[in-house]
A = this chain, B = another copy of it.
Amino acid sequence: MVDNNIKFGKLLTEPTLQRLSEYLIILDEFVENNKKTISSSELAEIYSNNANQVRQDLFKLQNTGRVGHGYDVMKLSQSIRKTLGLNTESPIMIIGCGKMGSALAEHLPFSKYGMELVGIFDVDPKILGTDIAEVKVRDIKDIPSVMIAEKSELAALCVPASSAQVMADRLVKYGVRGILNFTRKRLQVPSRVYVRHSQFICSFMQFVFMSKNVDEI
């Protein structure tokens, strides 16, 4: 079992962690549009929750609000980044460069959110050596050397479900500390390794159920 109540000055719970990361996306849109301030009720309106919850979440950060005037968008964005640890670049590896792995590598703004894509790995000789998102695709067996060179301990797993557990075992052996699992296989790893499951098909199931059953109040 894992302790989700991480001490970070104040405690950050999982629901708050998730919302903070999503607020950040909204705030960065405000930044792009040159909006300087945002109130808890504005943010709540966009996020579809309520101002009380927003303030309760932001209360976990170093204070950035100005009573009577709302939040400075830039300062709030920075404060979330700092609290989530996105101000130092975390080196990330992507394991498996099929459609899913390469889509993630190409589309995600890692560097904007405190991550750096330091390696993409595959076994298919046909794609080894090609460039994706300005990173060369390397052989799986090069993972240990990249881990050392880049001080990387985090891996996103995008291999076929059939080889997911084998690959996870290998990553564990290499000393990886976290695995973000995009495969459909439920991974078994030692408790010292953090696994986050991101199974799209489950998102679809939940989406279908909610779409059918949601009603307005």
Q: Does A34 contact B (CB under 8 A)?
A: no
B85 near A208 with CB under 8 A, answer: yes
B217 near A1 with CB under 8 A, answer: yes
B202 near A8 with CB under 8 A, answer: no
Q: How far is the CA of A188 from the CA of B48 in the complex (A)?
A: 9
Interface contacts beyond A21-B202, A24-B202, A100-B107: sample of 6 additional A-B pairs, CB < 8 Å, sorted by A:
A21-B205, A21-B206, A26-B186, A98-B107, A154-B211, A198-B200
A210 near B184 with CB under 8 A, answer: no
* Most B CB within 10 A of own CB, among A4, A104, A107, A156: A107
| Contacts A29-B186, A48-B1, A194-B211 given; does A204 touch B153 at CB 8 Å | no
A154 near B186 with CB under 8 A, answer: no
Q: Does A174 contact B (CB under 8 A)?
A: no
A211 near B92 with CB under 8 A, answer: no
Of the candidates B12, B21, B24, B46, which one forms a contact with A188 in the assembled complex, judged by CB atoms under 8 Å apart? B46
Q: How far is the CA of A167 from the CA of B197 in the complex (A)?
A: 29
B6 near A208 with CB under 8 A, answer: no
Q: How far is the CA of A151 from the CA of B157 in the complex (A)?
A: 36
Q: Does A177 contact B (CB under 8 A)?
A: yes
Closest residue of chain B to A203, judged by CB? B198
- Range, interface on chain A: 35 or more
Interface flags for A74-105 (1: CB within 8 Å of B; 0: not) read: 00000000001110001010000011101110
| Contacts A3-B215, A47-B186, A103-B99 given; does A204 touch B92 at CB 8 Å | yes
Q: How far is the CA of A213 from the CA of B7 in the complex (A)?
A: 8
Q: List 26 A-B contacts (CB under 8 A).
A: A1-B217, A6-B210, A8-B213, A14-B206, A21-B202, A22-B197, A22-B199, A25-B199, A29-B185, A29-B186, A47-B186, A84-B205, A99-B102, A100-B107, A108-B204, A114-B208, A154-B211, A156-B204, A156-B207, A177-B211, A178-B207, A180-B204, A192-B216, A194-B211, A194-B214, A196-B207
Instruction: Collect the chain B residues with CB atoms within 8 Å of residue A102's CB.
Output: 99
Q: How far is the CA of A177 from the CA of B199 in the complex (A)?
A: 23
